[in-house]
Structure 1
Amino acid sequence: MWSASAALFAVFALIVCLSVCIATLMMLFGPGIDRQNTRRGAPHTASHQQFLLKHVHSGHEDSGLIERPRPNGDLVRLFYRLWLPKHLNSADDTKGVVVVLHGVNSHSARNNTFMVEVLQHGFLVAGMDHEGMGRSDGRHGYFSSVDVLVDDAIAFVEMIKNKYPNKKVFLLGA
């Protein structure tokens, strides 16, 4: 039989060994900024191309990246897209801007069926892909905290308000 001190030492050694293994796996495969985002370069799906041709001015979306800081000092590039209604010539002609924030494990072009209604009623649609989703940086499906998502959403809404200062901005969770 083992003495109490030998059993305690064995438990301690097991904990240290597991901790080292977990730390090594986290360093190799753990959460972090994924700069080789293959999702960003992927072509639009046929249904998305059809949506753009049928409902969006000039048949294409304006898109870009905004950089957002993370608590660890990294910068994440978040993808966004802007859709101007097909029947309007400029953002000046719109009734306002609807900012769409998608749900978990989704992306900003996911709810096109509902967006058709918004576009047909004369609103510009602005959508942003959250960290780790859609065409944004980050490990697929991972985000560091809900606080970071909220800060990103606030920054995106502020960017839209600055870009379209004379338009009302509405927020829609999808």
Structure 2
Amino acid sequence: MGLSSQELALRPAFLTTAYGPVGQRIRLIERPVALPLPAWLEGRWAIVTAWNPQGQATSPALNREAQLRLLEAVRAAGLSPLAALNGAGEWAEDSLLIPGATLAQARDWGRHFGQLAVLYGVGRRAALVWAGGRVERHWAGLEKLADGSLSTG
């Protein structure tokens, strides 16, 4: 399964962004590292947003409304999401960290809210799950902060 031209264009941004609760954010890395990671990386988890569908800037009001609908859908599935943040600066997007989510749930929520990809993981293993079905396997590594320290919460 290949990526669309839009997915290919945005892939570098997905691979270099930070994901997760503020102070405990991760990045996708190629090899596992022997560092402690946030406790939320235990078991199954997903990170999904409803902001900026199809990678197109959307008004804050529409983004907040869509994010509220995503929150309601996740809670209706019996899960207890935590507030999270994808990206930084003008592309900082509210998102949900969803402990216990399945890959199918994460992908379906992403598709429903027009996302090109979502993050899904089991422990330190993390995958970038594209709306078209492709799954890129990576590892979760702590976000490096501006001062060179690691995000640890």
* TM-score with structure 1 setting the length: 0.27
Q: Looking at CA atoms only, which structure, 1 or 2, has the larger radius of gyration?
A: 1
Report the structure, 1 or 2, having the larger strand content.
2
Q: Point out which structure has higher relative CO (alpha carbons under 8 A, 6+ apart).
A: 2
